[in-house]
Amino acid sequence: MSKKKIWIFNHYATNMFFNKGGRHYWFAENLSINGYEPTIFCANIRHNTDDVIDCHNNKYSRKILNDIPFVFVKTTKSIGNGIDRVKNMSIFFFNLLSIANKYVKIYGKPDFILSSSVHPLTMVAGIRIAKKLGVPCICEIRDLWPEAIFAFKKAKEKSLLGKVLLAGERWIYKNADALIFTKEGDTDYIIEKKWDIKQGGDIDLKKCYYINNGVDLKSFNELSIQNTIEDEDLVFDKFNVIYVGAIRPVNNVGNILDAATILKDEKEIQFLIYGDGTEKEMLEKRVAEKNLTNVKMKGFVNKKFIPYILSKSSINILNYSQTQYNWKRGNSSNKLFEYMASGKPIISTVKMGYSIINRYNCGIELEESTPKELANAILKIKGISKKQYMALGQSAREGAEDFDFKKLTKKLIDVLETVDRKKT
């Protein structure tokens, strides 16, 4: 019996080629084990870097990484979120459309297309190509565009642009053969918009599925042993409060510094902040000006070192702004699952809907996210018994097993098989 081919469209999967990991890389690995033949289509330009895969005057280039074919679609450089990024997305879209037939002639037609956001043009391309080839298209919604654009005030919902974006979003949801959302409550969005069939709309909620982000536990465990860092802050016997991630307004890392200020006389506690972003320099100045000796701004860190760093944590902080995002539908942050895999308690500075932290009893979610509340939560976990502390960590680790990509891929295969049955 021949293997069923699945094309995976993700503009930004270029990072996964360089990192040898990530959502669609791990899906592809596990799909291969389960009798499928995946191919990942992505941009030949790595976003916000100078890394380029040379297409040699063609519209695409093909490389094999660990038996996974990557097809790099030619586009232009993309730095930041301005006009260059719009141009980059548009050229990727048109070139993806134009290479599909040529690729079919050489490598055969797919049985499925899995077309993933971040931006919606990739999903539009997936639907159009799938219809042309007569195969089903599953659209994967990892970010609710344009809701996020409206939330960050980059466009107004009732403006002409806002209405066009909403119409495009609804078209995608209607025309996809199945929808996969990475946050458990994202189907609530369709109900809120009254786009579902029950309320007179044209979107069938029965074709909506939930597959969150997750972690490859085997890879995580191997990296924590193989990629260590010589850093005295990770060796000394301290109670390490660790944050790993972007340092931007939505991450509200300044709140951690305020909590550190409250706890500056707690000599056993130190805050280690790993990451880069637009607010990094400003926060480094605050640390220096306030003489926060209990805070170390560690800067950018390669992803391969994160499992080792987290193995040295005492508490991991999920730190977000309460106001710049809609958290009621859940959380699909990659670092949530890395934190859980480390087997350490988690403090979230926002209270999530469909809370994974509460479901697995592996930490604390704050009601108000004030520095005082965060400081108290840190002291609370520090003050519990060893048995209680170990139980929190064990719950985190056991929860991570439910989000291991072996299990997540089984969920994806269930979607593929359901769509396949409907087709036949």
Asked if residue 57 and residue 171 are part of one domain, the reply reads yes
> Which has the closest alpha carbon to 120: 2, 209, 21, 9?
9
Asked if residue 99 and residue 67 are part of one domain, the reply reads yes
Q: Determine the average pLDDT of the residues in 226-248.
A: 92
Give the residue numbers spanning the domain of 135.
4-214+404-423
On the question of pLDDT at 321 being above 80, the answer is no
Asked if residue 389 and residue 419 are part of one domain, the reply reads no
Asked if residue 199 and residue 97 are part of one domain, the reply reads yes
Q: Are 112 and 122 in contact (CB under 8 A)?
A: no
Instruction: Specify the length of the chain in residues.
Output: 424
Asked if residue 266 and residue 205 are part of one domain, the reply reads no
Helix/strand/coil for 163: helix
Asked if residue 225 and residue 209 are part of one domain, the reply reads no
Q: Which two tokens stand for residue 373?
A: 């509340």
State the total domains in the chain: 2
Residue 244: its H or E element? strand 239-244
Helix/strand/coil for 400: helix
pTM, two decimal places: 0.94
**What is the Cα–Cα distance from 273 to 267, expressed in whole angstroms?**
17
How close are the terminal C-alpha atoms of the chain, in Å? 18
Asked if residue 59 and residue 22 are part of one domain, the reply reads yes
In this predicted model, what pLDDT tens digit does every residue of 92-123 receive, in sequence order?
Answer: 999 999 999 999 999 999 999 999 998 899 99
> Which has the closest alpha carbon to 247: 142, 317, 332, 143?
317
Residue 283: its H or E element? helix 280-289
Neighbours of 200 (CB within 10 A): 8
On the question of pLDDT at 265 being above 70, the answer is yes
> Which has the closest alpha carbon to 33: 367, 395, 409?
409
In this predicted model, what pLDDT tens digit does every residue of 276-312 receive, in sequence order?
Answer: 999 999 999 999 999 999 999 999 999 999 999 999 9
Helix/strand/coil for 23: helix
Asked if residue 161 and residue 72 are part of one domain, the reply reads yes
Asked which of 168-177, 183-192, 322-331, 403-412 is least confident by mean pLDDT, the reply is 322-331
Asked if residue 355 and residue 300 are part of one domain, the reply reads yes
Q: Within a 13 Å sphere around the CA of 334, how many CA atoms are in the beta-carbon half?
A: 16
Give me the CATH number covering residue 354: 3.40.50.2000
Looking at residue 58, the DSSP 8-state letter turns out to be S
Helix/strand/coil for 273: strand
Asked if residue 259 and residue 235 are part of one domain, the reply reads yes
Mean confidence (pLDDT) of the chain: 94
In this predicted model, what pLDDT tens digit does every residue of 349-405 receive, in sequence order?
Answer: 999 999 999 999 999 999 988 999 999 999 999 999 999 999 999 999 999 999 999
Asked if residue 237 and residue 97 are part of one domain, the reply reads no
Instruction: List strand residue ranges (DSSP E) for 46-117, in order.
Output: 60-65, 68-73, 112-116
Asked if residue 286 and residue 149 are part of one domain, the reply reads no
